């Protein structure tokens, strides 16, 4: 039991580091950049128990709020949390909760992992888009067309990647946690 907790903490730390690295892989676009953050969130949500994945993403947000340059473009600080794209950051722990709860009840088959990640990703995109409305003084339609629609296909691709990698790693993770 003690080793299981230690392995879970180590895995969580590794996945947190991966999240930070994936945050720096960006394609600049107007308003919202395309990043690998949601890939990392999906992988974290697919590999860790629901509360652990939620905690990892909360720690990520706390690190950024504390001034560590962990967000896209090495940004950080409290100003990021009130900017036009802050809703996406706030949505990451919610993505983990949604995905993790679905997986808790549906198991971790390819279909359930994919479905859970798509639902989590769509929730993340919608939260981020809705956040932009008052910050940029735009309509819901404009927010959805700039903050959700362009990211659906890349989101599906990232979800598939996260699921494939999660399935490959799941056996290793379970073996380590069972020790």
Q: How confident is the model at residue 28 (pLDDT cuts 50, 70, 90)?
A: confident
2-23 and 37-47 helices, crossing angle to 10° = 170
Say which residues have a Cβ less than 8 Å from residue 62's Cβ, sequence separation at least 6: none
Specify burial of residue 153 (Cβ count, 10 A radius: 0-12, 13-18, 19+): exposed
pTM listed for this prediction: 0.93
Q: How confident is the model at residue 101 (pLDDT cuts 50, 70, 90)?
A: very high
Q: What is the average pLDDT score of the chain?
A: 94
Selected from 3.30.300.130, 1.10.3720.10, 3.10.20.30, 1.10.1760.20, the CATH number assigned to the domain covering 2-178 reads 1.10.1760.20
**What are the tens digits of pLDDT across the range 54-95?**
999 999 999 999 999 999 999 999 999 999 999 999 999 999
Hey, where are the domains in the chain?
2-178
Q: How confident is the model at residue 1 (pLDDT cuts 50, 70, 90)?
A: low
Helix (H, G, I), strand (E, B) or coil at 1: coil
Detail the DSSP E strand segments found in 29-74: 34-35
Detail the DSSP E strand segments found in 18-106: 26-27, 34-35
Whether the pLDDT of residue 32 is over 70: the answer is yes
Nearest to 126 by CA among 20, 38, 28, 39: 38
Nearest to 108 by CA among 178, 45, 66: 45
pLDDT at 121: 98
**What are the tens digits of pLDDT across the range 113-130?**
999 999 999 999 999 999
């Amino acid at each position: 039991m003690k080793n299981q907790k230690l392995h879970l903490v180590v895995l969580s730390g590794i996945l947190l580091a991966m999240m930070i690295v994936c945050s720096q892989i960006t394609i600049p676009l107007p308003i919202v950049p395309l990043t690998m953050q949601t890939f990392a969130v999906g992988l974290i949500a697919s590999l860790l128990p629901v509360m652990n994945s939620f905690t990892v993403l909360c720690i990520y947000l706390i690190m950024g709020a504390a001034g560590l340059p962990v967000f896209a473009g090495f940004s950080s600080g409290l100003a990021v949390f009130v900017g036009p794209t802050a809703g996406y950051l706030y949505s990451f722990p919610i993505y983990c909760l949604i995905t993790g709860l679905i997986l808790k009840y549906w198991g971790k088959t390819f279909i359930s992992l994919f479905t859970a990640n798509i639902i989590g990703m769509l929730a993340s995109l919608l939260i981020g888009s809705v956040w932009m409305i008052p910050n940029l003084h735009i309509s819901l339609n404009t927010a959805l067309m700039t903050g959700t629609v362009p990211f659906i296909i890349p989101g599906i691709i990232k979800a598939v990647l996260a699921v494939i990698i999660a399935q490959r790693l799941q056996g290793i993770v379970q073996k380590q946690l069972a020790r």
